[in-house]
């Protein structure tokens, strides 16, 4: 299952009212679609905007409404953090704060020095035990290691630039949630003071770069109770992903984590390495999920040219998969990230499946509108793995 993160889009006036995928030169994706069965997919349900976490849960066949309690635990799992039941975990961003206004939610997509910033935070004396860990670029994770807290609190992250830093509030009057909200607000205040005077940020300001002087928290949650894919589907599975969040979702599903050298989760990711890692490991597993984050980044940045360019890079690397003749390959996304929206949307995603005995349809190109005419019709993301298992003769009959 090849997940092109954020691949879906909407028509863009500047490129002739085509989507970036439709405008890109993709002879290999088009060949896959021509030789496969196609459709469009609502990752969760029509009109529901998936997160990357809930989207991947659905693609693995889990009902996000049943197992999802917040993004933080999945991000922490992907960083191999030692989690315990009852702890509250936040997904965080290093951001830029100016006079109470969040001017950059990603601190200029900071790449260097976040380990030093995290070290300074972890040396801070606080009311409870906690662990703060930097992740890829601007991302980080915070774990409140106190079993007497609740996860039902709002974000401090305003989710948009040039908005005030938010005050976290409990979703109800439950004391554990009220305590968590108070603690995260105090944590935010104390770390802002530390980060604002840190040498890494003083140097960034001198260079004219936005300082990473505030921790924006979101996605609070507790560790979910999930059965493994092996126990649910009887398959041995693995994941290749450059971003900890996806590794975390799959890790909590009991999947092996495969390392592809140079798989960064950014625009500089090594696509050839990713595809060679698939080919090199496919005989050891029944199912491999692969996440390629690239298309999502220019979607968030509103850059259709960059999105087109990265899609074409993916397409150029696809021939490396053609040696897997006995493998069913599904190509789709986890959510749409339209460049005009600069965020996730509920738009359905293109989907193609190739492999022996698929009912090849008349679709001749891989795109949002062309795939909608295919033989799969419109499906849910939760059904995709079942479809693949059925094609591979690995599904169990329901009934006599």
Domain boundaries of the chain, sorted by first residue: 2-68+227-391, 81-221
Specify the DSSP class assigned to residue 153.
B
Which residues are bridge partners to 8 per DSSP?
Answer: 336
Residue ranges of the chain whose pLDDT lies below 70: none
Class of residue 284 by CB neighbours under 10 A (exposed 0-12, middle 13-18, buried 19+): exposed
Q: Nearest-CA neighbor of 7 among 352, 358, 272, 273?
A: 352
- Judge if pTM exceeds 0.95: no
CA dist., res. 71 & res. 87, Å (int): 13
Helix 304-317 and helix 271-281, axial crossing angle in degrees, nearest 10: 40
- pLDDT number for residue 328: 97
CA distances from 328 to 139, 245, 258, 378, 392 (A): 34, 25, 19, 19, 7
- Classified as helix, coil or strand, 180 is helix
Find the distance separating the first CA and the last CA of the chain, reported in whole Å.
30
What tokens does 398 get?
Answer: 């329901």
Give me the pLDDT at residue 223, please. Answer: 80
Q: Look at residue 82 in the predicted model and tell me its pLDDT.
A: 79
If we measure between CA atoms, which residue out of 330, 360, 343 comes closest to residue 41? Answer: 330
Cβ pair 236, 285 in contact under 8 A? yes
Q: Compute CA distances 29 → 4, 122, 166, 274, 389, whole Å.
A: 12, 46, 43, 17, 22
Q: Which segments of 216-334 does DSSP mark as H helices, in order? A: 229-233, 244-252, 271-281, 296-301, 304-317
The pLDDT value given to residue 254: 92
Alpha carbon distance 42, 350 (integer Å): 9
**Class for the domain spanning 2-68+227-391:** alpha beta
**Could you tell me the CA-to-CA distances from 391 to 45, 239, 243, 397 in Å, in that order?**
23, 20, 29, 13
**Burial (CB count within 10 angstroms: exposed 0-12, middle 13-18, buried 19+), residue 162:** exposed
* Beta carbons of 240 and 278 less than 8 angstroms apart: yes
Backbone CA torsion sign across 301, 305, 308, 313: negative
């Amino acid at each position: 299952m090849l997940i092109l993160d954020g691949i879906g889009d909407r028509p863009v006036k500047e490129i002739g009212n085509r989507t970036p995928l439709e405008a890109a030169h993709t002879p290999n994706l088009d060949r896959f679609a021509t030789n496969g069965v196609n459709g469009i997919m609502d990752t969760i349900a029509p009109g529901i905007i998936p997160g990357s976490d809930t989207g991947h849960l659905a693609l693995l066949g889990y009902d996000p409404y049943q197992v999802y309690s917040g993004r933080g635990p999945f991000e922490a799992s992907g960083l191999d953090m030692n989690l315990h039941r009852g702890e509250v975990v936040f997904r965080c961003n290093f951001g830029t704060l100016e006079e109470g206004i969040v001017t950059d939610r990603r601190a200029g997509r900071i790449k260097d020095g976040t380990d030093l910033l995290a070290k300074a935070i972890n040396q801070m004396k606080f009311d409870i035990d906690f662990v703060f860990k930097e992740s890829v670029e601007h991302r980080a994770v915070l774990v409140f290691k106190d079993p007497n807290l609740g996860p039902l609190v709002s974000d401090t992250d305003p989710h948009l630039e040039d908005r005030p830093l938010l005050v976290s509030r409990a979703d109800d009057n439950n004391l554990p949630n009220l305590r968590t909200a108070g603690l995260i607000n105090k944590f935010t205040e104390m770390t802002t003071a530390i980060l604002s005077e840190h040498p890494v940020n003083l140097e960034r300001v001198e260079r004219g770069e936005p300082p990473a002087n505030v921790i924006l928290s979101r996605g609070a949650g507790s560790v979910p109770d999930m059965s493994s894919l092996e126990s649910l589907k009887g398959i041995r599975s693995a994941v290749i992903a450059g971003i900890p969040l996806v590794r975390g979702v799959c890790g909590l599903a009991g999947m092996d984590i495969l390392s592809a050298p140079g798989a960064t989760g950014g625009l500089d990711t090594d696509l050839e390495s990713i595809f060679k890692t698939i080919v090199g490991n496919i005989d050891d597993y029944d199912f491999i999920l692969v996440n390629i984050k690239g298309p999502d980044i220019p979607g968030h940045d509103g850059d259709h040219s960059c999105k087109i360019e990265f899609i074409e890079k993916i397409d150029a690397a696809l021939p490396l998969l053609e040696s897997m003749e006995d493998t069913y390959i599904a190509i789709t996304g986890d959510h749409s990230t339209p460049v005009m929206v600069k965020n996730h949307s509920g738009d359905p995603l293109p989907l193609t499946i190739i492999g022996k005995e698929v009912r090849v349809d008349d679709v001749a190109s891989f795109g949002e509108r062309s795939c909608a005419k295919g033989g799969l019709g419109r499906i849910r993301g939760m059904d995709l793995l079942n479809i693949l298992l059925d094609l591979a003769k690995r599904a169990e009959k329901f009934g006599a």
